[in-house]
Structure 1
């Protein structure tokens, strides 16, 4: 296998791993019968202390990573020809996945690349390949300027890998399980997503409530992606999606777009997938990120590995708080951003929130 982890990130991961060893030392002096309780209290205290590390964000440069839907047939063709490290990433990914990921990215067909089980690993690897392109073209100095990261849904795994919390191969294995379990949950119960354009979040919530009265709670919908004002995606049962499409004009929506996804992501429909992913996360090494990574679940940056595991699992059934995350960064003083990966989806959303913000696209 080709190993392409950045030396600087690998060194920081080693330091983080060492701190975990010391923090997990057993209590040797406790009386018999009280070791478990004292250790649990210490662990809780350590987590609270660790979680306070990223409380007061003062970011300058953010690296942002796209989620599912950013993929296009033909992506990564040029980057693997120009950047040997990017080619190495795809070679390593194919060994792990058991199929030629690069060939699917370049040749498609579109239906195969767009499938949940393939698009998620494809975007993860392609985004990290774009990062290697930036490293080769602009140097390590530009990479080291990033002092905060975030990713939209799937992109959070890419952000955590960039931040050193996950090894490349471990992140890819998690993404593979994530895509497969989400597809299985969608296959088990028909559901969908609809993008509602032209309304604020309060109006979209009202629309969802009206639709749910017609179809009932089990087939109902709710906002699943809080992207930016005028662009929210609702998710739920197919009858609920159809009701939203039918009633949207009454609520003055400009338009609705049925999303080409397998099912109702970021809702209770994905509960079986959350359980499967939680099992995988429990056995995966995660260390403290070297820079803050803002979570989709609560728009906070977590430093505790256990908190990161929990939010990654809950992400599948929780709304994506992207709008809140972007506002947090902007209000904390963020000056510039890089969108790293296929297409310019995040740049478009960012500009809807702050037209003047400087954002550079690094595409594949």
Structure 2
């Protein structure tokens, strides 16, 4: 069985999508449709930069989605492959959940782009710059990360944002608490702890204003049942009902991304192949969670052509 998976924020880079667009009309059509939907030259920003503008949450989120969907569309249109025939499930990490839903036909491309632009703006506006922070703990499992977060909180928000794999967990919350967590981490059993270069503390209770903004936006958005079930970030379980999908996307803004559990649950359900579109971040995580699984990252035309031969 096979799962198509989609990366989250951090996988953006200047130059993304350029070679794909040069090689494929299908990719160019995706980038143009997203540009038109947003009323901005996002694709030019993706290919030319500047990097600091691309890294803004409001730009990075739709850019990563556009790149992932363009990669999939090339496979589908030029390889003659249908997602419903080749994938048993879809999943995405944080914003990648929107890419997954778009890929599976639950949300159209224009709506997905606009939702992610709105999501990025709402997340950035939820917490003033400098108030929040995030840190990655390496060599720490979920239990250890929760203990570190609890010890560091001291009355402030300090929670697990992403349970990525057995050796990588991300904390989010008030800057002071996150800095205390970094200082405490090694003594409490983590191998290493580092502050992340992010503009807001994602996936923690401080994002509640953004969750409310997304609840309003999603209430107006057309959401259909996906062609194949989505493994949701906040439940690590499959979902196909549109109203439930909406509710989980809202919950996801403040909730923990249960990626380790999601991959483990998909493996338990029979998935033995994970195909990542538009990035090379989730595949190594999947391999650390499910060492016997096959992981394939699809980024370039060569990757697409190689996948089309074996899928």
Q: What band does the TM-score fall into relative to the shorter chain?
A: over 0.9
2:292 equivalent to 1:356: yes
What is the Cα deviation at residue 186 of structure 1? 2.6
Query: Quick one: distance in 1 between partners of 2:117 and 2:228?
Result: 25
2:127 equivalent to 1:190: no
Gaps of 5+ in 1: 1-59
Query: Quick one: distance in 2 between partners of 1:204 and 1:284?
Result: 36
What is the Cα deviation at residue 120 of structure 1? 0.1
Partner of 1:144: 85
Query: Quick one: distance in 2 between partners of 1:94 and 1:317?
Result: 28
Out of 123, 126, 138, the position equivalent to 2:67 is: 126
Query: Quick one: distance in 2 between partners of 1:91 and 1:283?
Result: 24
Partner of 1:236: 173
Deviates more, 1:140-149 or 1:239-248: 140-149
Aligned residue for 1:339, secondary structure, equals strand
Out of 136, 142, 161, the position equivalent to 1:224 is: 161
Gaps of 5+ in 2: 301-311
TM-score, length of structure 2 as denominator length: 0.93
Aligned residue for 1:250, secondary structure, equals coil
CA deviation vs aligned residue, 1:7-64 (integer Å, no higher than 9, x gap): xxxxxxxxxxxxxxxxxxxxxxxxxxxxxxxxxxxxxxxxxxxxxxxxxxxxx11100
Aligned residue for 2:162, secondary structure, equals strand
Out of 82, 98, 105, the position equivalent to 1:164 is: 105
Q: Check the 8 A contact 1:83/1:132 in 2, yes or no.
A: no
Partner of 1:64: 5
Flag the 1:309–1:141 CA change in 2: closer, same or farther, 3 A. closer
CA deviation vs aligned residue, 1:243-297 (integer Å, no higher than 9, x gap): 0111112112111121122211111110000101100100111111121011101
Q: Check the 8 A contact 2:165/2:260 in 1, yes or no.
A: yes
Partner of 1:17: none
User: Counterparts in 2 of 1:3-18, with a 5 A limit?
Assistant: none
What is the Cα deviation at residue 335 of structure 1? 2.0
Partner of 2:282: 346
2:37 equivalent to 1:96: yes
What is the Cα deviation at residue 134 of structure 1? 2.1
What is the Cα deviation at residue 148 of structure 1? 0.7
2:189 equivalent to 1:279: no
Partner of 1:4: none
Partner of 1:46: none
Partner of 2:227: 290
Q: Check the 8 A contact 1:211/1:244 in 2, yes or no.
A: yes
CA deviation vs aligned residue, 1:166-186 (integer Å, no higher than 9, x gap): 111111111111011001113
What is the Cα deviation at residue 346 of structure 1? 0.2
User: Counterparts in 2 of 1:66-81, with a 5 A limit?
Assistant: 66-81=7-22
What is the Cα deviation at residue 239 of structure 1? 0.4
TM-score, length of structure 1 as denominator length: 0.80
2:205 equivalent to 1:268: yes
CA deviation vs aligned residue, 1:158-206 (integer Å, no higher than 9, x gap): 1111111111111111111101100111327710110000112111111
Query: Quick one: distance in 2 between partners of 1:186 and 1:200?
Result: 28
2:246 equivalent to 1:246: no
2:53 equivalent to 1:117: no
What is the Cα deviation at residue 72 of structure 1? 1.1
Q: Check the 8 A contact 1:211/1:220 in 2, yes or no.
A: no
What is the Cα deviation at residue 355 of structure 1? 2.2
Query: Quick one: distance in 2 between partners of 1:123 and 1:84?
Result: 19
CA deviation vs aligned residue, 1:211-270 (integer Å, no higher than 9, x gap): 12xx31xx2311110111110000000001110111112112111121122211111110
Q: Check the 8 A contact 1:135/1:143 in 2, yes or no.
A: no
User: Counterparts in 2 of 1:23-34, with a 5 A limit?
Assistant: none
Q: Aligned residues, how many?
A: 300
Query: Quick one: distance in 1 between partners of 2:34 and 2:237?
Result: 30
Aligned residue for 1:187, secondary structure, equals coil
Query: Quick one: distance in 2 between partners of 1:279 and 1:204?
Result: 33
Partner of 1:301: 238
